[in-house]
Structure 1
Amino acid sequence: MIEVEHLNVHFGSNHVVRDVSFRVAAGETFGLVGESGSGKSTVLRTIAGLNAGWDGRMAVAGQALGPRRDRAFFQRVQMVFQDPYGSLHPRQTVDRILAEPLEVHGIPDAESRITRALEEVALPRTARFRYPHQLSGGQRQRVAIARALIADPSVLLLDEPTSALDVSVQAEVLNLLSDLREARQLTCILVSHNLAVVAHLCERLAVMQGGRIVEILSEAELRAGQARHSHTQDLIALSHELEG
């Protein structure tokens, strides 16, 4: 479903992503992990069409991606951002936030779709006409997830979707994403610095350091501590230390 080959991303003279390659099968959830500044979010944003300064090859569902994307791409591929408050328009109600993608893509029957979207993410109907500041952080992220899914995409890009939430809320949102992924047969890429989050959702993951992928391993290999690269081993050790 997703192919990335020899991807390089430049911001001016800064070479921030270096020769990154990976593939994600249809229905798979693939993780990108690494420390801050490793380039993982840049890769995700480049796939989403938010970074223009790149070279290499990318494709979604067999269709090569260029610097400009058509409307069909943005219906097929949606993104959930790290900060649910920053990604939602503060002067729009939840109803308007969910209705806008339907209007953009010419999708009819907004009333039933908005009602179903709220139910899918376990938000009460009373949330529909509230503003983002009237919701909790977890509720705002549920709205962001509902907005991403309301146009029925096949690919969901998740950029640290729980890192801005309280620990007590993180598990709820992760379980919601897991249920939605299975029910909708979504292909997902999850960016996170938290190995526990990646192990919960992903079948495979790529470890990034300095803009490069240094290792790709399975969730089973991660849990068994079978990392080969020293940086991956350091991340696992740090994760265990923090859990302790």
Structure 2
Amino acid sequence: MSSAVSIRDMVVTYEDFAALDHVSFDIGAGESFGIVGESGSGKSTLLRAISGLASFDQGTLSVNGRPYSGRSRDKEFYRTVQMVFQDPYGSLHPRQTVDRLLLEPLLIHGFDDIETRISRALDEVGLGSGFRFRYSHQLSGGQRQRIAIARALILEPKILLLDEPTSALDASIQAEILNLLEQARRDRDLTFIMVSHDLGVISHMCERLAVMKMGKVVETLPAAALEKREFSAEYTRQLLVASEGFRRG
């Protein structure tokens, strides 16, 4: 399996604090890869560094074999890599209609057949054309996240970065959004990199995962190893116990 994303010795520092401390891993094309760890472990910083929202000070990033530096990204990168954020309200412009939100990336990247693409994007996320001229404040949290996913998919990327994509949603809506993402991955043969504090979500959605603590990767393991308790790091065991305790409560 060829690598869709390859990271070597990535370092991100804020003043004297190492938010990422020599992080390395490879993600295969078409793989769904999870990143777990407690708050402050560096999960979201890692996604932001991959996406270009945060610069990295040292190390290398390659996407489909093409190297990228600390912060600079080009149009080809954004055609290939898109991100879905945790808070769908914060990531959608409140003064733009759904139509405008979906139109903008198409115009930037010079797509034609815009009408067809917008209709298809709304259908794919389970929303009809009746939503095109609504504003984000007229939508529920789940509908807003569906629009955010439609906007990410409309450029036909191959890699989706997912930063806690369901944690701001009600439990009943979370499963719908996860199923929608899983269907999109199958239909489009996407590669996922998914950050979550919820080990249950990661073990359901991902084939492999990296466990992060204080900016470092503690271990990388198959998701199936979580259920079988086949891991080597004590920190992974603590995360699993904390996650199960929370779910039982």
Q: Which segments of 5 or more consecutive residues in structure 1 lack a partner in the other structure?
A: none
Report the number of matched residues. Answer: 244
1:59 to 2:65 alignment: no
* In structure 1, distance between residues paired with 2:237 and 2:41: 16
1:77 to 2:81 alignment: yes
Pairwise CA distance, 1:12: 2.2
- Give the structure-2-normalised TM-score: 0.96
1:195 to 2:202 alignment: no
1:242 to 2:241 alignment: no
Give matches, 1:210-221, under 5 Å: 210-221=214-225
Residue range with higher mean Cα deviation, 95-104 or 61-70: 61-70
Give matches, 1:67-216, under 5 Å: 67-216=71-220
Pairwise CA distance, 1:125: 1.8
What's the secondary structure of 2:151's corresponding residue? Answer: helix
Pairwise CA distance, 1:54: 2.3
* In structure 2, distance between residues paired with 1:243 and 1:159: 21
* In structure 2, distance between residues paired with 1:194 and 1:147: 25
What's the secondary structure of 2:104's corresponding residue? Answer: helix
CA distances 1:42-92 after superposition (whole Å, capped 9, x unpaired)? 001100011124210110000001131111111111000000000000000
Equivalent AA in structure 1 for residue 88 of structure 2: P
What's the secondary structure of 1:23's corresponding residue? Answer: strand
Pairwise CA distance, 1:124: 2.3
Which of 29, 50, 58 pairs up with 2:32? 29
Equivalent AA in structure 2 for residue 223 of structure 1: E
Equivalent AA in structure 2 for residue 3 of structure 1: S
Residue range with higher mean Cα deviation, 122-131 or 106-115: 122-131
Pairwise CA distance, 1:225: 1.6
* In structure 2, distance between residues paired with 1:27 and 1:99: 27
Match of 2:17 in 1: 14
Pairwise CA distance, 1:226: 1.4
Pairwise CA distance, 1:187: 0.7
* In structure 1, distance between residues paired with 2:189 and 2:56: 31
Q: Which segments of 5 or more consecutive residues in structure 2 lack a partner in the other structure?
A: none
* In structure 1, distance between residues paired with 2:56 and 2:233: 29
Match of 1:41 in 2: 44
Percent identity, please: 55
Is contact 1:11-1:53 (8 Å) kept? no
* In structure 2, distance between residues paired with 1:118 and 1:129: 12
1:5 to 2:8 alignment: yes
Structure 1 residue ranges (4+ consecutive) displaced by more than 4 angstroms after TM superposition: none
